Amino acid sequence: MSLKQTPLRAVDADHESDLDQVAWLWLGRLQGEPEPALRREFEAWLYAAPEHVDAYTRAQDLWRLTQPGAARLAEEEAAGLDALLARMDTAPRRRIGRWSAALAMAASLLLVIWVGGWQPQNLLDDLGADHVSAPGEVRDVVLADGSVLTLDADSAVAVHYGGRARQVELRRGAAFFKVTPGQVPFVVTANGGEARVLGTRFEVRLRQAGARVTVEQGRVGVRAQPNGAQQVLGAGQQVAFTDGQAGAVEKVDAQTQLSWREGRLTFYRIPLGEVLAELDRYYPGRIVLLNGDLAGKRISGSFPSNDPSAVLASLKAVVGFEQHELLGRVMILR
């Protein structure tokens, strides 16, 4: 997609937020080596009113602040696009380089705004998935054996039923399982580990380089890696694993931990960075936190999942971060 294809619209200078959004669009269009005609068009807009100069200055200042977060997003999304194209066995490698150069400005703009929310990594996850939920959507799926899985927002699973195992691969997000008893084992795989059902209701939630398993009823055998030691969890217990290493089994309030099924996001002393990562799956765009010190601040509370903007407002009142919304698609916190 050429940046020049994104149209700019005239706005009343009194509407500062609209003007800021136009300034951001100009900032994106001018990355790289813009053609002389485009530069002349920009200069005509810039000097048409003092408010335009002020808006563009604000955009440049905010861009400098967002560069670290944008660089991380660029790496994530470029890697996702790379893997997707490799999976589909299309497009020469030089296309990735061109995308990476464009993403260097701010992946949060180019992939969330310019392309209307298209996320290559999600497409890669969804390519082999049997059931997918959209951002903000929680849905139930009845499997062939009568077992029911509830997908949390922005989640994806692949189902592989055979004579020796009923296997579900969690590809993104989280899912809650109500398993129908049977002779064939029911196994959920996630980031190299697995949860093997011994008769139960439980959740598996992906985390960075691992997953977390929470049991509401019954028992689940959890392995951090295929040949690793099995930890058996009972009702009200939870364990997390990362990079093939399992943590200690902890006792938790399962109803509170699984309140997302009733439309609430509940946290108890959870780092703000993790809270925002959960909220991001309900937000219609991307949430980017640029303040590393705030990321570790622990949050407790219960919030309605159907209004992520209200949740952000509540967090802002408690934590005190600054908040900038770009084109209705990216929320930058610092």
**Beta bridge partner(s), residue 189:** 169, 194
Taking residue 306's Cβ as centre, other Cβ atoms within 10 Å add up to 12
pTM exceeds cut of 0.85:
no
**Is the predicted pLDDT of residue 204 greater than 50, yes or no?**
yes
Helix (H), strand (E), coil (C) string for 87-130: HHCCCCCHHHHHHHHHHCCCHHHHHHHHCCCCCHHHHHHHHCCC
**Rounded to 5°, angle at Cα 183 from 177 and 188:** 30
Could you report the per-residue pLDDT of 248-262, keeping only the tens digit for each? 999 999 999 999 999
For 99-113, the pLDDT digits (tens) are: 443 434 444 444 434
Task: Evaluate whether 187 touches 194 at the Cβ level (below 8 Å).
Answer: yes
Task: Give the phi and the psi of residue 281 in degrees, each rounded to 5.
Answer: -75, -15
User: Positive or negative CA dihedral for 313, 319, 325, 328?
Assistant: negative
Q: Which two tokens stand for residue 275?
A: 């809270």
- The 10s digit of each residue's pLDDT in 21-64 is 778 778 767 766 678 888 888 888 888 888 888 888 877 776 66
Q: Tell me the sheet residues that pair with 107.
A: none
For the beta carbon of residue 167, count every other beta carbon within 10 angstroms: 17
Whether the Cβ atoms of residue 262 and residue 253 lie closer than 8 Å to each other: no
